Chain A
Amino acid sequence: MPEDNRSPIIHIRDLHKCYWVGSMPYPALNGIDLELQNGEFVVLAGRSGSGKSTLLNIVGGLESADRGEARVLGEDILKMGNSQRSGFRLANIGFVFQAYNLIRVLSARENVAYVCQLQGKSKQESLEIANHWLHEVEIGHLGYRRPDQLSGGQQQRVAVARALATEPKIILADEPTANLDSTTGRHLIELMQRLNQSLGTTFLISSHDPDVKQAASRLIKLSDGFIVNSWDEETKPPVSLAVTCPIRNRSFGERLRHFFKPRRRTDQQTKQRTSRHS
């Protein structure tokens, strides 16, 4: 793909995501606009439930959206089929999750080598690559241990090594420090920062850890599915359920259920009604 250095590596326009719990719609993302340039170290902050994980999952092709556009490395990730997304993730995106990232029956080294093998490299080559990256994250000497023989911080380092081992353009990390004490968390963030600078890999990290926020080259604030400039509630436009949660996007089964169930008002609708009346 022809890649202009100045064209954004992640490009998101008017992104909406709605969850349905039975016949109750819940708008999780309400029109997100976001651009990331190559090499940025961006932190997504926001209260619990503000939609951070949802946004990361959509960017990583783990989840679909209800409306809008999400281009990653110039490709429309929302238009890809399941196996296409799977291949795309393998080639271009590294993931670090909050905890229990690793395959429990494989050693640290094998965990890292696993993704290289998925990419088609030989076992020998994969293990060598794994060694290299485990050294990069400073736990080269622990490669033979299984995840349950490693501390939480060490496990997260293995996860970072695994995310880097395929040499992806982007690393998505969903609250990577949430399960660590502050010192260990700070060290992990410093490590990621260093790798960002030395390798030029783009990082998109969700967190409510102040240390992480400080390390950001750019901080994006998420609140109730909106990107906001300050934490002030007033700056948000009203939610439009018709836009974010159109019935047509629901699966056939859900639509059937919706058809037969008596309609209940959602929290949002109730809120809107009461405010109109008062």
Chain B
Amino acid sequence: MVSRLGILTYVALAVRNLIRNRRRTTITLLTMMFGIATLTLLSALNDGWLSQMKTNFILSFTGHLQIHAKGFEASQNLRDNIADPDAISRYMDTYPEIIGWTQRIRTSGLASVSGSSTGVQIMATDPEQETWVTSMDQNVKTGVWLRPGMNKDLLLGKTVAQNLGAKLSDRVILMTQRPSGEMISEVYYLRGIIETGAPQIDRTLALISLDGAQQWLQMQQAVTDIVIRADHHDQTDTLYRLFVQQLSEQVYEIMPWQELDPMVRQWLEFSDAYGLIILFVVILLVLTEILNTMLISLHERQKELGVMIAIGTQPHRIFLMLLFEAVLLIFVGAVLGYLIALLVVMLLADGGIDLTDYANAFEFFYMDPVIHPQLTRDSALKILLATLVAALLAGIYPAWKATRLSVSQALRIQ
């Protein structure tokens, strides 16, 4: 005998059962909403903060992708240079994912001002091109950015300048080695002081213009780095693959930003793990709450369920009814919670959460004192999936228990 009592009847029964216990349903829904809203918000904060950190990191120095002569990152030796950068730069206009690129020479050296000296990372770049890739020009806190054609201009990281006691217009002597190994030194004039917020940069940077450096080091057109900025973080992989296809790996090394600073990568991975832990904890709470509600409800309704089975309801229909109840609770709660979080995120999106008062703790490591929460599709999917799994787990167990109900025993309950 096929029963026509369709699924809708059991959805209706489930809804009415939820409404019957209005207070309990409300409390459970509130818990659900709160849980899911918190989860969504935390993950939006985490995502916003991570994305800002990536941006800051990429903008402060590294770019999304760097191309070097093979072995340069390990040797840091000027002899491992790209002699003909034009062979590479002709690709730059053909990929729309690239919004900026620049050429640099990086080498270590010594800076001295009237007797005191300190080790520096000498970086030479094109004053114009660099502004398309990083925000170093905006990080000039005193003085001016490199001026095109002014080959004696020097900018120092804030800490370097402090250590040397150097002030604007001071004569600074830079000393380093040519690719041939010959030691050379030259007088520069301090025109600006850069503060990126990243200590490893502020402590070592000595910035000069590329043209002058190429003459000084006798490197003709050669550079050590070609630095590329993508339109969006996600495009890094695409660009990486494109360049790997185009350029011989015998001659070049192509490095995405994650490889250029393992510290940052570890930090980001840790933050991802942290996001997963939050997800896990909130889901666990929600699951326990729903499980608890459903089990209490099951206990209260034993007699009624016994009667339903006694008059001919097949146990699998009882199973469906109870499962619907749990899934409905979780679904409605999750949607409401998500909407609340969405609203909060929208309200905060422009202003962000300002942590300037606590900013000292945030200053290192490319963090911004103002966090802009961000709801990404990835984390929305993660949350959705996790609640779904939780709903099924929390729904299936009580529903299954109901099908194992001893009818005769349930009927003895008065």
Contacts and interface: CB of A to CB of B under 8 A. Distances in A.
Nearest to B403: A82
A184 interface: no
Contact of A90 (B16, B304, B311): B311
Contacts of B407: 57, 62-63
Contacts of B1: 87, 90-91, 119-120
A118 interface: yes
Contact of A63 (B19, B20, B408): B408
A97 B309 contact: no
Contact of A98 (B304, B309, B414): B414
Contacts of B17: 105
A139 B154 CA distance: 100
Interface string B280-316: 0000000000000000000000011001111111110
A70 B408 CA distance: 17
B4 A100 contact: no
A91 B311 CA distance: 10
B314 A83 contact: yes
Interface in A77-105: 82-83, 86-87, 89-91, 94-95, 97-105
Interface residues of B, number: 27
B311 A89 contact: yes
Given A89-B311, A95-B310, A117-B4, A105 B411 contact: no
A121 B411 contact: no
Interface string A47-69: 00000011001001011000000
25 contacts: A57-B407, A57-B408, A57-B411, A62-B407, A82-B315, A83-B315, A87-B1, A89-B311, A90-B1, A90-B312, A95-B307, A95-B310, A97-B411, A98-B414, A99-B414, A100-B304, A102-B307, A103-B307, A103-B308, A104-B304, A106-B13, A115-B311, A115-B312, A117-B4, A120-B3
Contacts of A94: 311
A197 B228 CA distance: 96
A272 interface: no
Contacts of A37: none
Contacts of B87: none
A67 B115 CA distance: 109
Interface string B391-414: 000000000000000011001101
A105 B307 contact: no
A256 to B, nearest CB: 19
Contacts of A121: 4
B310 A89 contact: yes
Q: For A54, A105, A114, which residue has the most chain B Cβ atoms within 10 angstroms?
A: A105
Interface of A: 53-54, 57, 60, 62-63, 82-83, 86-87, 89-91, 94-95, 97-106, 114-115, 117-122, 162, 166, 174
Nearest to B14: A105
B2 interface: yes
Nearest to B9: A117
A62 B313 contact: no
Contact of B312 (A87, A102, A103, A105): A87
Nearest to A58: B408
A89 B312 contact: yes
Contacts of A62: 310, 407-408, 411
B5 interface: yes
A99 B4 CA distance: 28
B12 to A, nearest CB: 9
Interface of B: 1-5, 9, 13, 16-17, 19-20, 303-304, 307-315, 407-408, 411-412, 414
A103 B304 contact: yes
A53 B412 contact: yes
B90 to A, nearest CB: 74
Given A83-B314, A118-B5, 13 more contacts: A57-B408, A60-B310, A82-B315, A83-B315, A87-B312, A100-B307, A102-B307, A105-B16, A118-B3, A120-B2, A120-B4, A122-B4, A166-B312
Contacts of A90: 1, 311-312
Contacts of A100: 303-304, 307, 414
A87 B310 CA distance: 10
Contacts of B13: 103, 105-106
A104 B21 CA distance: 11
Nearest to A92: B312
Contact of B3 (A60, A82, A117): A117
Contacts of B20: 104-105
Nearest to B17: A105
A100 B310 CA distance: 13
Contacts of A63: 407-408
Contact of A95 (B9, B304, B311, B412): B311
A95 B407 CA distance: 13
Contacts of A54: 408
A54 B407 CA distance: 12
B299 to A, nearest CB: 15
Contacts of B312: 86-87, 89-90, 115, 118-119, 166
Nearest to B20: A105
Contacts of A103: 13, 304, 307-308
B307 A97 contact: yes
Contacts of A114: 5, 311
Contacts of A102: 307
A102 to B, nearest CB: 8
A119 B311 CA distance: 11
Contacts of B411: 53, 57, 62, 97, 174
A171 to B, nearest CB: 12
Nearest to B313: A118
Contacts of B307: 95, 97, 100-103
A192 B5 CA distance: 29
Q: For B3, B9, B309, B408, which residue has the most chain A Cβ atoms within 10 angstroms?
A: B408
Contact of B309 (A53, A86, A91, A99): A86
Nearest to B309: A86
Contacts of B313: 86, 118
Contacts of A174: 411
